[in-house]
Amino acid sequence: MLRDGEWLDNDAGPVVRPYALTGGLTRPSGQRLDLLDMACAVRQVGQHPMLSPEQAEVLYRCRIPVPLVELAADLDLPTGVIRILVADLRDRGLVTIHRAKPAGLSDLKILQEVVNGLRRL
């Protein structure tokens, strides 16, 4: 139902579909972003007025490096939406991405810690 220029759902409040937040995009551009990758702002929000409110909020929260999964949780947005928003900001040169170091599954120390943790259960 439309009230005062907003789409509302009586139980959920304001409703915006994810594709509306991403400008219709369904996949991020460029290199795949992992949820543990860290995004860090190169420029501040005020220096780039052509951003959507969601992009501006992501950029604001990236003043210090932040993992994509934390952005999704803090903004209560699906991880796919966050990937697309961050990829767009990266393509515009507004954020840099710091790749998470992959954990080596063959690392015996990690496997031993998992086994020890399971035994304690």
**Per residue of the chain (121 residues), what is the pLDDT tens digit?**
344 555 445 555 555 666 566 665 656 667 888 888 999 998 766 666 688 888 889 999 999 999 999 999 998 888 888 998 999 999 988 999 998 776 655 667 777 888 888 888 8
**Predicted pLDDT of residue 113:** 83
Residue 14 backbone dihedrals phi, psi, to 5 degrees: -60, 135
Domain count, the chain: 1
Cα–Cα distance between 12 and 32 in angstroms, integer? 32
**Structure tokens belonging to residue 60:** 């604001």
pLDDT at 24: 56
The closest of 29, 15, 16, 24 to 86, measured between CA atoms, is: 29
Helix (H, G, I), strand (E, B) or coil at 41: strand
Instruction: Report which residue type is found at 73.
Output: A
pLDDT at 86: 92
pTM of the predicted model as reported, rounded to 2 decimal places: 0.65
Q: Which pLDDT does position 16 carry in this prediction? A: 61
Domain housing 21: 2-120
Q: How many separate helices (H) and strands (E) can be counted in the chain? A: 5, 6
Beta pairing class for 13-14 and 38-41: unpaired
How high is the pLDDT of residue 27? 66
- The C-alpha atoms of residue 103 and residue 116 are separated, in whole angstroms, by 18
Counted residue by residue, the chain has a size of 121
d(CA 29, CA 90): 9
